Amino acid sequence: MLDIKFIRENKELIKENCKNRRAKVNIDEFLELDEVRRDGLKKIENLRAERNKKSKGKPSDEEIKKMREVGDMIKKLEENQKTVEEKYLDILQAIPNLSHPESPVGEETNYKVIFKNGEPPKFSFPPKTHDELMMNLDLIDFERGAKVTGTKFYFLKNDAVRLNQALINYGLDILEDHDFILFETPDMAKNEILNASGFNPRGEESQIYEIKNNDLSLIGTAEITMLGFHANEVIDLSKGPKKYAALSHCFRTEGGAYGKANKGLYRVHQFTKLEMFIFCKPEDSEKMHQELLVIEKKICDGLDLPYRVIDIPTGDLGGPAYRKYDIEAWMTMIEDEGKKGGYGEITSASNCADYQSRRLNIKYKKDDGSMELLHTLNGTAIVSSRFPVALLENHQQKDGSIKIPKALKKYFGKKKISKP
């Protein structure tokens, strides 16, 4: 969340930023509530001071009566203050992060292409989509997945299982080479951690599966659990940023996603993801953001995928991100202006500045001994749904088999995927 003092002193800037990021937050109403909140705290503080002053020595019957009245007033004010604080915090958490001055301003379609690698493959045959290829190669069972769990769930089979493990191990090796510490995280987190991370389990557009009768939710990304890992801590950054590679299962409701590209594995309710997460000093965060992007490009280069990098516009940044880059791979399943074939997202890399660390109270000690909020960044290394989509569709052969990229062969153990 943003610093309340900054919001008070930069009201018009915050209003403009909310407008650019399509955040429906009434800043004037929030600041009025902030005044009520501060006034309430002051009244409670003054009454407590009055009660403490009169409690010294041996009070008379009249003074005891007066102190009880003051105590009743404090109790009533505290009950009202609790309601005000809850509403105040709800609105404060809904105010999005500031936006990088170079981020394109506008809706989802106002992205800026900043890099392009490779050209879409030219097939000598009518190319198939990944779901057609997987069905033909006996790699997946959507029908039984739906029978057991529901739509957008699936059973992976045969070489699809090996392919996912190969992709994960390929990603792990690259991240270890870049000095990331490896983690496998819980698949659930406390709702307070989700809220503080910028993922509201009860919001209108929430993608979170909340567990009933429990203060836990299934995570949609290991970003959540890695943020919670250092909640309320002071981290030693004297030797450089903390770089973590976190493996987890991810669960998303994908509510409101229908009508977008959602065929086959592209948009599902459960997948496995290898996430990069960085805690660093504020002066290092832009450099670390570029490092995340370099690693993501390296992963895609090794898989021989044609892709582009886009700078995400303000209207599509979500709540926590200060700036975000997406890598979109070319896929046959995407339709662009009625034509078969287009670019679909496979990774994101976000710099969240101090937006998340403020709520979770994560700081580092400066050289002068003072404490300062650090910056957090996250990026996708490998995701077990989108990466197979791009790999299968780009490397399909005329006979229906799939050619395995050179960098993946030692992990997969075969040169191609063919019918069992």
Residue spans of the domains in the chain: they are: 4-94, 108-417
Round to whole Å and give the CA distance between 387 and 412: 14
Round to whole Å and give the CA distance between 111 and 309: 10
**Reported confidence tier of residue 54, pLDDT bands at 50, 70, 90:** low
**Reported confidence tier of residue 204, pLDDT bands at 50, 70, 90:** low
**Reported confidence tier of residue 34, pLDDT bands at 50, 70, 90:** very high
Residue tagged 């404060």 (tokens) = 92
Tokens coding 205: 């557009």
Round to whole Å and give the CA distance between 350 and 7: 22
SS3 389: helix
CATH topology of domain 108-417: BirA Bifunctional Protein; domain 2 (3.30.930)
SS3 343: strand
pLDDT tens string 6-15: 999 999 999 9
Measured CA distances, 272 to 268, 269, 373 (Å): 11, 11, 31
Mean pLDDT, residues 323-342? 90
pLDDT tens string 267-300: 999 999 999 999 999 999 999 999 999 999 999 9
Asked if CATH classification 1.10.287.40 holds for the domain at 4-94, the reply, yes or no, is yes
pTM: 0.92
The pLDDT value recorded for residue 321 is 97
198 pLDDT more than 90: no
200 pLDDT more than 70: no
395 pLDDT more than 80: yes
Tokens coding 310: 């886009």
Residue 25, CB half-sphere, CA atoms under 13 Å: how many?
29
